[in-house]
Every structure is written in structure tokens, then in C-alpha cells.
Amino acid sequence: MNFKPKTYRSNGKLLLTGEYVVLDGALSLAVPTVFGQSLTVKPMPEKQLLWESYDVQQQLWFKARFKLQNKTLGLISTSDEKISDRLLQILTKAQLLNSEFLASATGCAIETQLEFPTNWGLGTSSTLISMIANWAEVDPYQLLDETFGGSGYDIACANAPKSLTYQLTTTPAREINLVAFNPSFKDQLYFVHLNQKQNSRDGIAQYRSNSSDKSVAVTEVSNITNAMIRCENLAEFQELMQRHEQLLSKLIQLAPVKARLFADFEGSIKSLGAWGGDFVLVASTLDPSTYFKTKGYATILPYSEMVKY
């Protein structure tokens, strides 16, 4: 045993503005969440890699064992072949990016621990990519590009201490700036879960299939992002939420979530990430918990309990 156990941790993420259009260069507002995921690496005498993943209830939800031979990983056993195939892909890509990764004479036992339910959509995959990249000492954005793909805002959130703006550019490839997004009306902001997880890769594919000119929408969303950061009152913030929803609704040809599910709600509701699942942002002068619970949506978190700011 030539190394001590080491633990890595990454934040979850939420994209408050710029869903979809972040891929085309829109300035977007992203927030790291209080909830994240950790990964602990422990030495093991066998030349193997033992992987165990635990959910928020401390229950083992995935387990796999890989052999390590001549720096090559091979599956020995698994509780889920689809997950182990994806994990093997990530680890192999990390090895290609750093030839010293997993080159030790000994093996290791890996334990991951989620801090949020898997269906919340806060970044089970992005936190994993970030932690493996930190462990392997490789560029997390490059590892993301060669595995899951996406804009990379979730990787930016993974290690960020507070809210940030994220924008894909040409040189450099992205511009990330920490921002002081701590609105005075944050006690009137809530996150409500829609009881289903949306696959962001499916949402991206649907967005990409729309070949129409997106430049106007990109500019307008960027303006909304800047206005939201500067916003000082709830009414103005709600108007910006609604403008954003209308813009994206026209672009992706889907009805806004409020029109589809909560037409009688008096406050404002904005989709986050891939439309159709995960969390929505709710702005309301009154606590909306009773309203959403009577509609069957029991997971309601105040802004201050979700976001690192």
C-alpha cells in the first residue's frame, strides 16, 4: 500500500438561465447546489478496481469489479452492465488523457456517495466526471467532451464556491465568471421537483434538430441573464422569468411548464435544464408549498436550502 485514502467531492448544479441556448453561446446563469457527490479512493492489495456506489439513503445501488492488467481495465462482475460499460468508458478515457492514472502496482476500492436522490437531476453524471477528472489529474472538460458531452456548465458548477455565469466562446473555449447572485428576494424563490427525471442528452438532441437561426434568442437570453443578476425586486425577476420561458417555448416548440401543468398558479414558474422534468424555479410572494403538494408535487425546497451562494 503506497497511498492513503483520498476523498474528492463535487457540487450538483442548476442552470437558472440559458437552457439549450447555452450550447450556442448564450450567457447563462448557473448555481452550484448544496447537494453533491463524493468519491473516496482506498488502496487494495489485489490488482483490481472495486467500485461501490451508495445513494442518499446509504443504500448500495451499484457495484462492479474490474481487473487491472497492464494498465488495461476489464470487467469481472457488475450489478448493472449498462452502468459498468459507461463507467469503463470514463475510466479508459481518463487513462488515455493521463497514462499514469491507474498505473500503480496495487488496486483500489472506490466508494461514491450521493447527497441527493438520483431522480433529482442535479448532476449524478457531471459530479462523477468532475471527481474522476480530479482523481486522474486530467482536464474535466475534455473528459466530459469525450464521454457524455454537453455545454460543460455543470463541470463549472462542480467545483465552484458560488453562482457563476457560463458562456461558450471560441478562444478560450468557455468564459466562466463568479457572480454575486444573492437576491434580496431569495426567500420568495423555490425549487419544485416535477417527479420525473429528464435525460439532458435527449433534450439536447431535440434542440439540435431545430435548424432555425438561434442568434436572436441567444442575444435575448444573454440580456435576460445580465438583467436577472442585477435584479433588485421580485416583480421584475418574475417578468424576466416569463420572458425567458416565452423565448424558449417558441424556439423548442414546447408549451411552458406553467401553461401545461400549473395554469392557475398565481406566481411565476420557469423550467430549468431539459424541459419536461427535474426541477422548476418558482417565484411567489406567498409560500407555494400547499399549492404544489395538493397537485402531487411534494419536493419543494426554498432557494437558500438548495443553492451555494
Q: How many Å apart are CA 127 and CA 122, to the nearest integer?
A: 9
Which pLDDT does position 115 carry in this prediction? 98
User: What is the model's pLDDT at position 1?
Assistant: 47
Sheet of 300-302, strand order: 268-271, 279-283, 189-193, 300-302
Nearest alpha carbon to residue 238 among 162, 185, 309, 180: 185
Q: What is the pLDDT of residue 193?
A: 96
Angle of helix 234-252 versus helix 200-208 axis, rounded to 10: 60
CB atoms within 10 A of CB 11: 26
**Short-list 105, 119, 103, CA closest to 55:** 119
44 vs 108: CA distance, rounded Å: 5
CATH annotation of 6-178: 3.30.230.10
Backbone angles phi, psi at 156, to 5 degrees: -60, -40
Residue 283's pLDDT is what? 98
Distance, CA of 169 to CA of 177 (rounded, Å): 13
pLDDT, residue 273, reads 81
117 upstream amide cis, omega within 30 of 0: no
- Measure CA 111 to chain center: 20
Give CATH 3.30.230.10 domain extents, the chain: 6-178
pLDDT value, residue 81: 97
pLDDT per residue of the chain (309 residues) written in tens, 0 to 9: 456 899 999 999 999 999 999 999 999 999 999 999 999 999 998 899 999 999 999 999 999 999 998 888 999 999 999 999 999 999 999 999 999 999 887 899 999 999 999 999 999 999 999 999 999 999 999 999 999 999 999 999 999 999 999 999 998 999 999 999 999 999 999 999 998 866 666 666 667 767 677 899 999 999 999 999 999 999 999 999 999 999 999 888 889 999 999 999 999 999 998 787 799 999 999 999 999 999 999 999 999 999 998
Q: Where in the chain is the domain with CATH 3.30.70.890?
A: 186-306
The CATH class of 186-306 is alpha beta
pLDDT for 70 equals 81
Q: Does residue 167 contact residue 28 with C-beta atoms inside 8 Å?
A: yes
